[in-house]
Amino acid sequence: MPNISKRSLGTYESPIRKLAASANQAEAEGKKVYYLNIGQPDILTPPSALQKVKEKDLPIIKYAPSKGISTYVEKLTQQYQSKGFDIQNEHIYITNGASEAIQLLLMACVDADENIIIPEPLYANYVGFSEYASVQIKPITSQIEDGFALPNIEKFEAAIDSKTRAILICNPNNPTGAVYSKEAIIELGELCKKHDIFLFVDEVYSAFCYDEFEFYSALHLNDLAQNVAIVDSVSKRYSACGARVGRIVCRNAKVLEAINKFAQYRLSAPTLGQVLSEALLEVDASYLEEVNLEYTERRNVLFERLSQMDGVKCYKPGGAFYVFAELPIDDADYFCKWLLESFEHEGQTLMLSPGSGFYASPELGKNQIRIAYVLNSTDLNKAMDCLEKAIEIYPNKVALDAKMMEKI
């Protein structure tokens, strides 16, 4: 049998999906599993936009232009301009989701032996995207005690070395739900300008900010037009993850030229997805207002329930739909597996993402988990009943015993 590549042997497993087999097994045994591991919202994709795709009745599903369907790009430009951004059509590049957008930025802007700085906990796939591009990640650890606020600017500056090409942040943040202030974004921008490096901002959760939190896009940084690139997507905003449509917005012509070269290899982003995305731009603002209210309620339920659990440390996230909590356990990987394989409460259990996979630094996040509040409040409450019970009966020694068993 031929060998697979050495490259693939070192590749990490997604913390979000790696327990899928245990979850399938739990279901096969008749348990009801509450899936709080993955950022797949249960919110409906706007029906009016789906209807427009059906009405389009395309006789051939052709390749789209590599840069994206021009009518879609033009409407996006108009939307940016109507919000006061100095964006033209040529500044927008349509991609296969934000996932491809980030990979293209890395390919276009960072060489194989160079590094990017990312606050952690981080969106786990950044690690995989960096591996694809052979780019090193220099993590800066944010802390649960201040709700995972952006680390001090001094920490970023201290991490910059001669091989640093960019700072990458996610705002609002996955996995922490932190929303970074206008002042923090401006300060980070100034640092990038001072050191002549890029600032990449993943803004896929920009539509989801709660309470007093306000989203501040890095596209406001006009003085930094050559340094800033943002990525966005229809996946979360319109609960259209399967459309696979995202974008890069950047005012640096050289970066866009380089992106175009790489993007031409993959021909185009999905044509039908772009037809849907164009229709999504017509969706009434009330859709997002209602979705925001729904997420706010879920966030409140989750925060309240977690705050009442003994030994659980958490904070009230300001955006996105995640909370990154600390549990009274010693090994979240083991605990999350145990939840699926050995635990049930009234025939039910839950699936969470273990925290360690959201850190680039080894050994961090071992007692932390990410919860995605992608289920309605009733189900969330039931899932929290399970978690509360699980924490009550889970003895740390279970993990130790299991580790000892492995060694035997």
Ligand X SMILES: Cc1ncc(COP(=O)(O)O)c(C=O)c1O
* Footprint on this chain of ligand X (rule: CB under 6 A): 39, 97-99, 123, 170, 174, 202, 204, 233, 235, 241, 246
Is the CB of 174 or the CB of 274 nearer to ligand X? 174
Is the CB of 147 or the CB of 394 nearer to ligand X? 147
Least CB distance to ligand X at residue 138 (A): 19
Strand partners, 28: none
Is the CB of 18 or the CB of 305 nearer to ligand X? 18
Q: Where do we find the tokens 């910059």?
A: 160
Is the CB of 77 or the CB of 235 nearer to ligand X? 235
Least CB distance to ligand X at residue 230 (A): 11
Q: Rounded CA gap, 374 and 380, in Å?
A: 9
Is the CB of 233 or the CB of 367 nearer to ligand X? 233
Is the CB of 235 or the CB of 252 nearer to ligand X? 235
Backbone phi and psi for residue 236, each to the nearest 5 degrees, phi listed first? -90, -45
> Please, what's the b/e burial string for 334-346 (b: 16 or more CB within 10 A of its CB; e: otherwise)?
bbbbbbbbebbbe
Is the CB of 39 or the CB of 46 nearer to ligand X? 39
Least CB distance to ligand X at residue 141 (A): 18
Q: By beta-carbon distance, which residue lies closest to ligand X?
A: 97
Omega before 2 within 30 of 0, i.e. cis: no
Q: Rounded CA gap, 223 and 79, in Å?
A: 21
Is the CB of 122 or the CB of 386 nearer to ligand X? 122
| Burial class of residue 196 (count of CB atoms within 10 Å of its CB; 0-12, 13-18, 19+) | exposed
Is the CB of 45 or the CB of 348 nearer to ligand X? 45
Least CB distance to ligand X at residue 69 (A): 17
State the helix-helix crossing angle for 125-132 and 97-109, rounded to 10 degrees.
40
Least CB distance to ligand X at residue 231 (A): 7
Is the CB of 168 or the CB of 339 nearer to ligand X? 168
Least CB distance to ligand X at residue 132 (A): 14
Least CB distance to ligand X at residue 320 (A): 8
Which token pair is 256? 């866009």
Least CB distance to ligand X at residue 167 (A): 15
Least CB distance to ligand X at residue 16 (A): 8
Least CB distance to ligand X at residue 174 (A): 4
